[in-house]
Structure 1
């Protein structure tokens, strides 16, 4: 029978034999096939990058690259950058120019209307005097036309002496107007010494009627003072306006309601 495995006994006086060294790891260059040490970055023969890293990501689809700009990538170490003889133009500028040209082409027919609308909305209103006027009643020498003649030295007064509540002035416009403001001169005159000789309107209901029959109503309150008082009263396509007195200052003692002047401001259609 074989005995136990025998181990060599080192000779006395000699150093022990070292174990064999492990094989050295190498990396083969993919270009020139030269063996390189595993810790090298560039090939010892052709200087090509031995470990280029992970593969580059696939580019996004073309519809995502239209308006997207990418920074220029630096060339890899050891690689020679290629010169581009032709650079693909960006599509953002041509598409923008086409869009602007289309907007201009289709917007030209409506440009004058838009400018007219802007003028109506932002321009200063102008005086729009009525062409016809009437009243609920009139005192001798004080017709309805005295309140629309452009002067405040004459005034309209109703026939009845007393409160004047319910009395009204009404006027028509020869063509539809966009009413924007209303100016009222209450009393007999704009002069302070003549202002208190008759009763004055305190509250007035203004009704604007458009060409299609629609009505806009607004109640205004006047101060008991001489001179013009301005109110924002807006009505589109207005052809008729009525001002009805609801309350009065200084009624009684034989006084009649008095309105020296009424003026409308706006735009003619």
Structure 2
């Protein structure tokens, strides 16, 4: 941890400039480290001696000498010496004369780990700053500020770049990546210690092939299914806006019974019906409707029988199958068979034909017809749009 001596801000070891004031931490920073407490040195006692320099002696307890071993007392024999003769030297005096005076051993000085004393007027050496080993540049996260001078990433709370000390007042901010970038971008795989990354001579990007392939498949699928898709589109539009009634300009029939002409099938009343001139099943008889303008025919609604009332409905014949033939503006004819249920009410059939200018309903078969009765069609309606 580095503490800026200018403003007191705490900075990480890998930061070169203060986050608050921008000071260069190599000069203005002070490193804080945990040191083990050193053992205190023994106190020193100074014993002054007259006529000798003062020597500091540590007050280390000295072991007391062992007590003298008692010896057996021997009587001392004294030999008389003549007067005027030199006194004989004793054993102690001879030993002191032969031996030199012992010199006191040097006193061990206490060890000091602090700096040595500085001479007056000498310039103190500048303490050496130990920079940490360079570390890998951390990845930029969304919201980090990018230095415009050196490109280093800085957290949003910094005011100056941690690498070069440049002001971050106008620094751009790292934006959050979109989900497309996060999904399509391949993250580098972290390798184990001692592993060597594999070198690709020709880098292959899957999206360069996958995206065009998907587009080609989509275009090809749409092209091959264009008719079905067009029909599906027309069907959806028909259900939404293709249910308006379209009235023919002219109605004709192959034959008509008295009082039951072809116009009765297009008058909007279900209690009046068309019937052919000859009684019976009426196979081959038809109704033909012609229109002034081409239109798209979406649905055909048919009311089978002579009426919507059950007694009158059962008294007359009812067609079972009819053929719907459509004529388009370009002269094309299409035919579709419709099977009618033997029930009262309208029955609706989807058609989906374009540019219709004429339509014909031909009786193909009928349900059992009472004796003397004829096949009847109560009403025919055309629903479509221009």
TM over 0.5: yes
The reply on whether 1:201 has 2:319 as its aligned counterpart is: yes
Q: Secondary structure at the match of 2:295?
A: strand
Q: What does residue 331 of structure 2 align with?
A: 213
**Pairing of 1:72-83 with structure 2 (within 5 A):** 72=144, 74-75=153-154, 79=163, 82=166, 83=168
Q: What does residue 86 of structure 2 align with?
A: none
Of the three residues 349, 357, 362, the one matched with 1:239 is 357
> How far is 1:140 from its partner?
1.5
Q: What does residue 272 of structure 2 align with?
A: 154
Give the conservation status (yes or no) of the 8 Å contact 1:176–1:211: yes
> How far is 1:241 from its partner?
0.5
Q: Which runs of 5+ in 2 are unaligned?
A: 1-25, 27-126, 145-151, 156-160, 178-233
Segments of 4+ moved more than 6 angstroms: none
The reply on whether 1:85 has 2:203 as its aligned counterpart is: no
Of the three residues 337, 340, 343, the one matched with 1:225 is 343
Of the three residues 307, 332, 351, the one matched with 1:189 is 307
Q: 1:228 to 1:121 in 2, by over 3 A?
A: closer
Q: Secondary structure at the match of 1:194?
A: helix
Of the three residues 285, 288, 291, the one matched with 1:167 is 285
> How far is 1:252 from its partner?
5.8
TM-score normalised by the chain length of structure 2 = 0.43
Deviations 1:194-231 (A, max 9, x none): 10121111011111221112233221111111221111
Give the conservation status (yes or no) of the 8 Å contact 2:242–2:298: no
Give the conservation status (yes or no) of the 8 Å contact 2:238–2:298: no
Deviations 1:13-51 (A, max 9, x none): xxxxxxxxxxxxxxxxxxx8xxxxxxxxxxx84564432
Give the conservation status (yes or no) of the 8 Å contact 1:49–1:78: no
Matches of 2:238 and 2:376, distance apart in 1: 33
> How far is 1:171 from its partner?
0.2
> How far is 1:246 from its partner?
0.8
> How far is 1:251 from its partner?
2.8
Q: Which has the larger radius of gyration?
A: 2
> How far is 1:169 from its partner?
0.6
Which one has the bigger strand percentage? 1
Q: 1:89 to 1:125 in 2, by over 3 A?
A: farther
> How far is 1:70 from its partner?
6.8
- Measured on the aligned residues, the alpha-carbon RMSD in Å equals 3.4
Matched residue count:
190
Matches of 1:125 and 1:162, distance apart in 2: 34
Q: 1:212 to 1:78 in 2, by over 3 A?
A: closer
Matches of 1:81 and 1:207, distance apart in 2: 88
Matches of 1:178 and 1:237, distance apart in 2: 6
Matches of 1:89 and 1:182, distance apart in 2: 64
Matches of 1:120 and 1:203, distance apart in 2: 25
Q: What does residue 366 of structure 2 align with?
A: 248
Matches of 2:162 and 2:171, distance apart in 1: 24
Q: What does residue 17 of structure 2 align with?
A: none
Q: Secondary structure at the match of 2:163?
A: coil
**Pairing of 1:40-79 with structure 2 (within 5 A):** 45-46=128-129, 48-53=131-136, 71=142, 72=144, 74-75=153-154, 79=163
Q: Which runs of 5+ in 1 are unaligned?
A: 1-31, 33-43, 58-68, 93-116
Give the conservation status (yes or no) of the 8 Å contact 2:316–2:370: no
Higher-RCO chain (CA-CA 8 Å, sequence separation at least 6):
1
> How far is 1:189 from its partner?
0.8
